[in-house]
Amino acid sequence: MPKKVSIITGPILGLRSTWFIEDTIKFAASTGEKVVSFNLFDEILGQSEKQPQNAYEKMLCIGEILDGYSYQFQCMREKAYLSIARKIAKLGKNVSVIIRTPASIEWRGYNLIFKDHRIISEVIKPDAIITLIDAEWKIKERLKSNYGKHVLRVAAHQKDLSIPEILEWLASEVSVSEDWAEWAAYITGKKVKHIVLGIETPIYKNRKKYVRDVDNLAKLVTQKDVPIFYTSYSMTVATEKIRKKINSMIWKLRSYGVVIDPASIELGGNVEKEHESVVFAYTVCRDLRWDVQKVDAVVAFHPYENRPPLSTGMMDELGHARAFQKERYLILPVGGGSPFTGDNYVPANHVFKTDKEFFEFIEKKRRPVLKPKYEKFQKAFLKWQEKDGKKKRTK
């Protein structure tokens, strides 16, 4: 049996997830990890003896399946999962597995949910379920491409998707995937994590530029019991100097585990007024319920040496982390003496003047201690950014 089995969910269009997974497999190989991937629709089409020659033909075949009988489609999915499970059983113990499948599909104005909880739990027995997401405005831009229009026309039977419809689809993917993970944990008796991961992240040298986050995905699909951190910080008032400090801390933290950076979902600068309220509500839901609720620890960086500004987002995230009973840490050079900070938002011994104190604490005093055991991934990711990360593919 393989080292780890992960199911990757997320919309079938607008993410360019195929390229993301391919890049992650290559990146993992550079760190000495072998990953094998399966695609549910590829398995279904193979069993149907259909051989599409390109992505456009593949989507036509998928469209035909969606337009057929729903119970037949469910039988096809179950048969495909059984086939994938047999292939997985033949893999070595040092191989990690990815199974790419959507948890729902936008079809004729209706969100078609895949109720595959039982077959996944009993046959695949996943160790983790990861839902890929991206900024809604980026997805909308990708849907304007020729391929994006083709998929919408063939699968969704629509010419376009609005921002609220895209957000609704993303929310559906997360909700169904959560159910899959809970069901799998109940059936298998093991802990099955569900994580929501942005497909891109700001690069180390310039947070205004983005690269595919192959580092986080590679760690999630190959490493068992990898710690998962959420980084909280002020995104609206930070100066360039402070941003560099925060960025340096975030990148060092990657050596200790997976780091969920709220900036991975790049904010759009031109949100239409009619969509502003739903985008804001989605942002709060994503950060608090999809991120803070699912991670192991929240690390808040507020490295202001004079008059630290109020960050309502950071306060809310720490408050929710307390409610969700997550580990909480705060780097705060000044102003940490308030009784509403230590032993309220954050345990008193988890408030630090410097990031150096914080990293020394988790390495020497935390129980169990955390060591930078994922440094090979972090270093490889820095190198990957400088080379492969600069290569832009277009579709």
The token duo for 20 is 């993301």
What is this structure's pTM? 0.94
Which pLDDT belongs to residue 393?
46
Q: What is the DSSP letter of 300?
A: E
Query: With 80 as the cut, is the pLDDT of residue 392 above it?
Result: no
Res 3: pLDDT: 96
Q: 157 is written with which tokens?
A: 């039977």
* 168: β partners: none
Q: Does pLDDT of 395 surpass 50?
A: no
For residue 381, what is the DSSP state? Answer: H
Task: For residue range 183-203, list pLDDT tens digits in order.
Answer: 999 999 999 999 999 999 999
User: 391 pLDDT band (50/70/90 cuts)?
Assistant: low
Q: Two tokens at 183?
A: 């069901």
pLDDT value at residue 270? 65
Average pLDDT of every residue of the chain: 92
Mean pLDDT for 13-36 is: 95
Whether the per-residue pLDDT at 394 is higher than 50: the answer is no
Of the given ranges (101-115, 134-148, 233-247), which has the lowest mean pLDDT?
Answer: 233-247
**Using an 8 Å Cβ cutoff, are 226 and 220 in contact?**
yes
CB 223 within 8 A of CB 287: no
235 DSSP assignment: S
Q: What is the pLDDT of residues 211-222, one digit of tens each?
A: 999 999 999 999
Tokens for 257, please give them: 């585990």
For 328-373, how does the pLDDT look when each residue is reduced to its tens digit (9 = 90+)? 999 998 865 666 676 778 998 999 999 999 999 999 999 999 999 9
pLDDT one-digit tens code per residue, 268-321: 766 778 888 899 999 999 999 999 999 999 999 999 888 788 888 999 999 999
Q: What is the rounded CA–CA span in Å between residue 8 and residue 99?
A: 6
Give the strand pairing for 95-100 and 34-39: parallel
- The neighbour count for residue 378, using CB atoms within 10 Å, is 21
User: What are the structure tokens assigned to 227, written together?
Assistant: 């710690």
248 has pLDDT over 80: yes
**Dihedral over Cα of 15, 18, 23, 29: its sign:** positive
Residue extent(s) of CATH 3.40.50.450 domains in the chain: 228-373
The architecture CATH gives domain 1-226: 3-Layer(aba) Sandwich (3.40)
Distance CA 38, CA 7 (A): 9
Structure tokens given for 47: 């069993």
- Four-residue CA torsion sign, 49, 50, 53, 58: negative
What is the distance, to the nearest Å, from the Cα of residue 96 to the centroid of all Cα atoms in its chain? 18
Class of CATH domain 228-373: alpha beta
Q: CB under 8 Å to 54, separation ≥6 — which residues?
A: none
Number of other CB atoms surrounding residue 49 within 10 Å: 6
Residue 108 confidence (pLDDT): 82
Instruction: Give pLDDT, residue 234.
Output: 86
Query: What is the DSSP secondary-structure string of 116-172?
Result: -HHHIIIII--SEEEEEE--HHHHHHHTTSHHHHHHIIIII--S---HHHHHHHHHH
At residue 314, the 3 state secondary structure works out as helix
- pLDDT digits over 42-101, tens only? 999 999 888 899 989 999 999 999 998 999 999 999 999 999 999 999 999 999 999 999
CA atoms of 8 and 194, how far apart (whole Å): 10
Decide the pairing of beta strands 104-107 and 110-113: antiparallel
Q: Where in the chain is the domain with CATH 3.40.50.300?
A: 1-226
**pLDDT higher for 40 or 154?**
40
pLDDT at residue 110 in the model? 82
What integer pLDDT is reported at residue 104 of this predicted model? Answer: 95
Q: Which of 116, 138, 113 is nearest to 129 (CA)?
A: 116
